[in-house]
């Protein structure tokens, strides 16, 4: 009876079990969820913003040493990871679109593709971290840094200047905190995507209710944007020398 066309036409749309009683329409409920997510993302901007600010201050003060330390990172791995994240944003868009069109198996496929790409990103990141441990470039008691300033290898050996290891350690502290917080967000994202994928597989979403797919998509795109800024700032300092 609640699903009959007559009931739908005479009253407000009350046939959707996902519509909570304190919302008038599905659209209002969806807008409230979306706005809440954007307010959360605004707090995330300020959270990462503090780290970006600290990074800018130290990069300004220790520019040469930051350039030297930055060049210890692999541009290839960084660029591959950027590409992986951009591709994962596309698979999220495809997943949200499939949910809007009510195509259950496609939603599951695109969400799984996103999880796989997220795991590829984390795998490459773990490989980069392992190399930092091997080279003693992890800040702390065993930190050791003896590398040239950018462009110094062109000079005669006696004239070459080395980077200040304390300043390089500051770079690696910021590198690990910023990429580490980003990776933590990726891990949380993969976890939430797993739950949403399970719900999609169980057929919980319809073209009238797919809010969790859209909300987790917003989160994933935000994490992608953070990396879009991290890649040039951390990997590409003073590379032209």
| Minimum distance, C-beta of residue 41 to other proteins, in the bound complex (Å) | 7
Tell me how far apart the alpha carbons of residues 43 and 48 are, in angstroms, rounded to a whole number: 9
CB within 8 Å of 145: residues ≥ 6 apart: 69, 136, 137, 163, 165, 168, 169
**Tokens of residue 7, six digits:** 């009931």
Binding-site member from 72, 93, 119, 131 for other proteins (CB under 8 A)? 93
**Tokens of residue 197, six digits:** 């994928």
Compose the 47-76 pattern: x for residues touching other proteins by CB under 8 A, - for all others.
--xx-xx--xx--xx-------------x-
Q: Angle at CA 197, nearest 5°, toward 191 and 201?
A: 150
Residue 25 backbone phi and psi in degrees, to 5: -135, 165
Compose the 122-161 pattern: x for residues touching other proteins by CB under 8 A, - for all others.
----------------------------------------
Question: HSE (CB half, 13 Å, CA atoms) of 80?
Answer: 14
Q: By CB under 8 A, is residue 14 in contact with other proteins?
A: no
Question: HSE (CB half, 13 Å, CA atoms) of 81?
Answer: 30
Question: Which of these segments, 39-47, 105-113, 135-143, 170-178, binds other proteins (CB under 8 A)?
Answer: 39-47
Nearest residue (CB) to other proteins, 138 versus 200: 200
Q: By CB under 8 A, is residue 89 in contact with other proteins?
A: yes
Q: By CB under 8 A, is residue 162 in contact with other proteins?
A: no
Nearest residue (CB) to other proteins, 138 versus 215: 215
Binding-site member from 2, 102, 180, 232 for other proteins (CB under 8 A)? 232
| CA distances (Å), origin 166, targets 32, 54, 145 | 48, 16, 8
| CA distances (Å), origin 231, targets 45, 109, 188, 240 | 17, 28, 20, 16
User: Which residues in this chain contact other proteins in the complex, by CB under 8 A?
Assistant: 5, 8-9, 13, 25-27, 30-31, 34-35, 38-39, 41-42, 45-46, 49-50, 52-53, 56-57, 60-61, 75, 79, 82-83, 86-87, 89-90, 92-94, 97, 100-101, 207-208, 214, 217-218, 221-222, 224-225, 228-229, 231-233, 236, 238-241
């Amino acid at each position: 009876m609640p699903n009959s066309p007559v009931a739908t036409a005479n009253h407000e749309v009350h046939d959707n079990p996902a519509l909570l009683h304190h919302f008038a329409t599905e659209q209002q409920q969806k807008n409230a969820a979306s706005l809440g997510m954007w307010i959360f993302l605004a707090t995330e901007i300020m959270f990462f913003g503090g780290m970006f600010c600290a990074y800018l201050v130290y990069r300004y003060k220790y520019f040469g040493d930051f350039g030297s330390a930055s060049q210890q990172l692999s541009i290839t791995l960084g660029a591959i990871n950027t590409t992986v994240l951009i591709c994962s944003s596309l698979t999220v868009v495809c997943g949200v679109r499939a949910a809007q069109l009510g195509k259950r198996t496609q939603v599951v496929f695109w969400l799984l593709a996103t999880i796989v790409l997220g795991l590829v990103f984390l795998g490459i990141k773990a490989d980069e971290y392992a190399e930092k441990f091997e080279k003693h470039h992890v800040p702390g008691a065993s930190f050791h840094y003896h590398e040239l300033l950018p462009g110094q290898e062109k000079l005669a050996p006696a004239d070459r200047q080395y980077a200040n290891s304390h300043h390089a350690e500051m770079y690696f502290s910021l590198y690990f905190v910023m990429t580490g917080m980003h990776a933590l967000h990726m891990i949380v994202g993969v976890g939430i995507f797993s739950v949403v994928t399970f719900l999609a597989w169980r057929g919980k979403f319809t073209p009238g209710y797919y809010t969790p797919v859209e909300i987790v998509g917003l989160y994933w795109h935000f994490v992608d944007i953070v990396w879009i800024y991290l890649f040039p700032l951390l990997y590409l300092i003073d590379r032209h020398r």
